[in-house]
Structures are given as structure tokens and as C-alpha cells.
Amino acid sequence: MTVQVLRSADREAVAWKNGGGVTREIAAYPPNAGMADFDWRISLAEVERDGPFSAFPGVDRILTMAEGAGMELTVGGERRLVDQRYVPYDFPGDIATDCRLLDRRVVNFNVMYRRGRTAARVAVLRGNLNVAVPPGGTVVIVALDGTASFEGVTLGRYDAVVTASPGALLAGGHTAVVTLTVG
């Protein structure tokens, strides 16, 4: 079994072009892909003030709030209240999206994937799970609060594992399981 462990402490904060926050990339495919050529990208984003989200042509997004009181997103003119932690919200990344914070900063767990090349599913859970990996697929597991353990690897808050092999997950806190498939 191959399990790549990605520790939160090893991630670099990258400031947004608009100054509204920072992003810490967890994993991307292909490795070292830039913003224009990733098939999928998973990150944590600290949103520090109101403002527009960057547009990503041909990309779909799944956002899960991990910290904060929430935000109101306006996606293509439609308002969406994002005020519950650990609930995934999906929306197209190429439609104009604006954010208004409900209080102070939030931290979002983000999954972006290129439409037509990759499909993604995000589940946030606690407890035990036998993680299945679809043929040719990848699973990324991220502890969002508390700890989690996957096949003997202990994860602290925001630590992650990337695997192409099934295994046993014990999630002591809220843990994101991202299933990525080609196609």
C-alpha cells in the first residue's frame, strides 16, 4: 500500500493576488501543476475579507467551511449562505463568485477539479470507514478537526494522506474524504 503523508506544518502560505487571504496547497495533480494546468487541486484558504473569488475556466469547485462563522456567496447572481461547518458546497469555478463574510475570517477546505478530465466527491465524516478507491482513482484524506488515522498513519489537524489503495480510516474528528476519478 502506498500512502503519501502531507503534514500541515510543511505547507507554505501563498497570498492571493487581491489581498483578501492566503492559500495553502495540500495536493495537486499532476504534481507541481500550476493554476492553469492542474487536473485537480486541494487546498485550505483563509478568507480574511469580503471580495470576489478568482475565476477558473473549466473548473468545478467544492468548498467546505472548516473555521469561522460563515459567509454569503453570490454565484452568478444567486446567493448561497455558507454558515455550517463541514458541509460541502459545490459550484462552478468559472462563474463570477463574490464573498461576504458573516463575521471574521473563515478557513475553507477547497477541492477544484477540471471539468471533463476529473470528477470529485467530498464526504466529511467522523467514525470508522473502509475507504474504497475506484479503479485508477485517488483518495485524499484530510483531518479537519481532531485527529484521524489511516492504515496506522496518525493525522493531526489539517494533515493529509494521498492514496490509491483502499484502507481503514478512524476519524476521531471531522475528516474530509475526497474521491477523485479520471474522466
Give residue-wise pLDDT tens across range 137-182: 999 999 999 999 999 999 999 999 999 999 999 999 999 999 999 8
- Enumerate long-range contacts of 14-17, CB under 8 Å, 24 or more apart: 16/54, 17/54
| 139 domain residue, yes or no | yes
Give residue-wise pLDDT tens across range 20-59: 789 999 999 998 888 888 999 999 999 999 999 988 999 9
| Of 125, 132, 180, 165, residue with least CA distance to 148 | 125
| Of 82, 44, 38, residue with least CA distance to 57 | 38
CATH number, position 67: 2.60.120.10
Is the whole-model pTM more than 0.85?
yes
| 125 domain residue, yes or no | yes
Neighbouring residues of 14: CB distance < 8 A, sequence distance ≥ 6: 22, 23, 24, 25
